[in-house]
Amino acid sequence: MNHLNEIKNIKDLVLKKENTFFVIFIIAIFSLDRLSKVKILNEFNDRVYYINDFINIDLIWNIGIGFGFLSSEISLFYNSITAIIGLVILILIFLSIKSESSEKLIFSIIIGGACGNFYDRLIYNAVPDFIDLHYNNFHWFTFNVADIFITMGIFIFLIKNIFTKN
């Protein structure tokens, strides 16, 4: 009987009306990322497009995690990293469900971006990165729209936790 009450409590948390906004927000971020990647994959596949002296569109396929870290051609390693990323997304969803509205928003930003890159890992076995920021010969890591949201969410989360008392 106790387990049934716990399941009911989790169901009630998930189905709370305020969570609908955050699910829509996650879907919007995921969709924006997908749209940008589809556009790039269809139009910029084999060439570099120079926007200005600081930004290029240059498609690369990232088999690692953020900014190409932990890249490996070994499929067991790639699949293990992908499984860990999936687990982290599930943990973030659980934390989001149990958190207050401001944290739900932060988690939604991260989850939306993470789902975009996770989708690519499952479908393409790599993540298309295409935003190349540079100054002269110095190039930052190439990234995508999902990476922007993930980084922004983590940054907001850190700032919030540094400046709030818990």
What distances in angstroms separate CA 71 from CA 17, 58, 75, 104, 105, one per listed residue? Answer: 40, 19, 11, 31, 30
129 is catalytic: yes
Mind giving me the DSSP string for 120-149? HHHHHSSEEEEEEEEETTEEPPPB-HHHHH
Q: Catalytic residue among 33, 120, 132, 147, which? A: 147
33 is catalytic: no
Residue that has been written with the tokens 């990322």 in this structure: 33
Helix (H, G, I), strand (E, B) or coil at 58: strand
Number of Cβ within a 10 Å radius of residue 61: 11
Helix (H, G, I), strand (E, B) or coil at 103: helix
Q: Catalytic residue among 33, 58, 120, 129, which? A: 129
Q: Which helix (H) or strand (E) holds 62?
A: strand 55-62
Positions marked active-site: 129, 147
